[in-house]
Each structure stands twice: as structure tokens, then as C-alpha cells.
């Protein structure tokens, strides 16, 4: 089972009133979520599916996608201010150390944020990064900045979408839910579309829901989960600890030394050219 040591560093510190803070990062994070929670709605997500899930925005290997993140800094992340490429290697190495025999898990740690290559096509960060949540039903109070960022969302007072279950049914399963659009869902769909991908279902599930913090950390939306979701919840929670607690701006991995190992995993589980 996935486990990670506790950290003395405080992570995911979201300042309620970032205007009172001198931190540029805190203000940047709030502004990203403000835009996300204004525009992420059913209509927007459906349009993104139509745009991106034709997989006609380029072709490249998974490792090339990782390298493309060498200048991408996640504007929703209050914990780090370095390119996202390093975070993938830090997560992977944490998992590799704890579970040396679960090589598919090391690869999931490496690639879990690769969907952020959406930024290469000029997508705004609020449509790429940050915590995810279902659209088409009531917005949970477990969502970051819930009280101060949703007032202009077109679904907030919708006759159906503002109700607890919205357009869903009790225990329908998360796979039936339309999640806010971002790198999680995009990479999951890209890998599902790639015929040569042999990552186990558990790995794909981690990729799809690792940013769904209102669920796996906040404990909400259980009423939409089916048995599969509830069974895999602990897996997601344990992965999240590596995703979170391996972040360190001051201890960046030597990628040149790690490259050959991870290239071998990509060749094993996600070989060839991938359609994006």
C-alpha cells in the first residue's frame, strides 16, 4: 500500500484574503482560482471536450511532453515556484524509493501532470491546473476559495446544476461525472486513446482524479461514488501524499541521471508517438 512520511513543511496554505498578503504567489494562486471558478461550467467543459478530444493538436512521445514542462510554472500551486518538470521526477522518485517493485507506479508519478502541455496551445492556466470538481451539480464548500470565487459562475443558480445531484444520479460513479476541465482529464483521455498504453487501470485512475481534492481530501462527493471509486479512494489518498510532500524547491533532482530509467518505463508502458 502507498505510504509517505509526514512533512514538517506546511503545504496547500491558501490565504483567504490574498490582497492582505505581500506574497505575489498567494495573489497569483487566488487569481487563478477566481478565473477557474468563474468559467468552469457545464457548457465550457463540453466545448473543451469537443476541442481537445479529437487528439489533433500534435504528436510526440511522453518523455518529450515531460521536457516541454521545463519552463511551465503552475500558477495555482502555493507550494513551489519552479518548473513543473521537476515535480514529476520528485513524485516518481519518492514512489520509487518506497515501492521499488511497482515500476508502473513510478511512471504514473512521473507523468501525472503531463496534461499541462495544454499550455503549449495557449490555453489559460485556469483551464489547465488546480483542484478539480464535478460541474453539473452543486459546488462543494470543500472547494478551495468556495465562498469568494463562484459568484459569477453561470451554473451557480441553474435550476438543475445548483442542486446536490444536479444532472447525475446517486452513486452513479465518478466516471459518469463531467469534471472541471484540466490536465487530469486530458492526460487520462490521451492515454486511453493511445493503443500501445498498457498502464493498469489503477494508474489511469490516479491520473484522472489526483487533483480532485474536494473528494479525496475534503471527503465530499461520496454520494456520487460507486463501489469502484470507494475502493480506490485510499489509493488516491496515498498517492496524493507523494504528489504533495515530495515538493522541494531546494532539492531538485538530477534529471540526466534519472533519464535512462524512466525512458525504459515509457518504452514498457507507453511506447511510441502519442496523439495529443
Question: Binding site for Fe cation: which residues?
Answer: 87, 112-113, 183, 210, 243
3-state helix vs strand vs coil in the chain, percent to 5: 50, 5, 45
Contacts of 270 (CB under 8 A, 6+ apart): 62, 107, 111, 191, 194, 196, 197, 198, 199
- Does an H or E element contain 60, and which? strand 59-60
Q: Rounded to whole angstroms, how far apart are CA atoms 183 and 180?
A: 10
Q: Are 78 and 29 in contact (CB under 8 A)?
A: yes
Binding residues: 87, 112-113, 183, 210, 243
- For residue 33, how many C-alpha atoms fall within 13 Å in the half-sphere facing its CB? 25
- Does an H or E element contain 228, and which? helix 227-245
Place of cell 500500500: 1
Collapse the DSSP code of 273 into the 3-class scheme (helix H, G, I; strand E, B; otherwise coil) and give the result: coil
Amino acid at each position: 500500500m502507498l505510504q509517505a512520511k509526514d512533512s514538517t513543511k506546511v503545504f496547500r496554505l491558501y490565504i483567504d484574503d490574498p490582497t492582505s498578503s505581500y506574497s505575489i504567489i498567494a495573489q497569483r494562486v487566488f487569481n487563478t482560482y477566481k478565473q477557474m471558478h468563474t468559467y468552469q461550467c457545464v457548457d465550457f467543459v463540453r466545448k473543451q471536450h469537443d476541442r481537445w478530444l479529437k487528439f489533433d493538436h500534435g504528436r510526440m512521445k511522453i518523455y518529450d511532453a515531460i521536457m516541454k514542462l521545463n519552463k511551465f510554472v503552475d500558477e495555482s500551486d502555493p507550494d513551489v515556484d519552479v518548473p513543473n518538470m521537476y515535480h514529476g521526477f520528485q513524485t516518481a522518485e519518492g514512489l520509487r524509493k518506497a515501492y521499488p517493485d511497482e515500476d508502473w507506479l513510478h511512471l504514473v508519478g512521473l507523468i501525472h501532470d503531463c496534461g499541462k502541455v495544454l499550455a503549449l496551445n495557449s490555453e489559460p492556466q485556469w483551464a489547465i491546473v488546480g483542484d478539480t470538481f464535478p460541474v453539473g451539480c452543486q459546488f462543494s464548500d470543500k472547494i478551495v476559495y468556495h465562498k469568494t470565487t463562484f459568484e459569477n459562475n453561470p451554473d451557480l443558480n441553474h435550476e438543475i446544476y445548483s442542486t446536490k445531484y444536479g444532472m447525475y444520479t446517486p452513486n452513479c460513479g465518478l466516471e459518469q461525472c463531467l469534471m472541471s476541465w484540466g490536465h487530469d482529464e486530458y492526460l487520462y483521455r490521451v492515454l486511453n486513446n493511445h493503443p500501445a498504453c498498457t498502464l493498469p487501470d489503477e494508474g489511469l485512475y490516479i491520473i484522472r482524479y489526483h487533483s480532485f481534492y474536494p473528494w479525496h481530501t475534503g471527503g465530499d462527493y461520496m454520494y456520487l461514488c460507486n463501489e469502484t471509486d470507494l475502493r480506490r479512494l485510499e489509493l488516491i489518498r496515498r498517492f496524493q501524499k507523494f504528489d504533495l510532500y515530495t515538493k522541494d524547491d531546494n532539492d531538485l533532482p538530477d534529471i540526466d541521471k534519472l533519464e535512462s530509467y524512466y525512458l525504459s518505463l515509457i518504452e514498457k508502458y507507453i511506447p511510441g508517438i502519442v496523439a495529443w
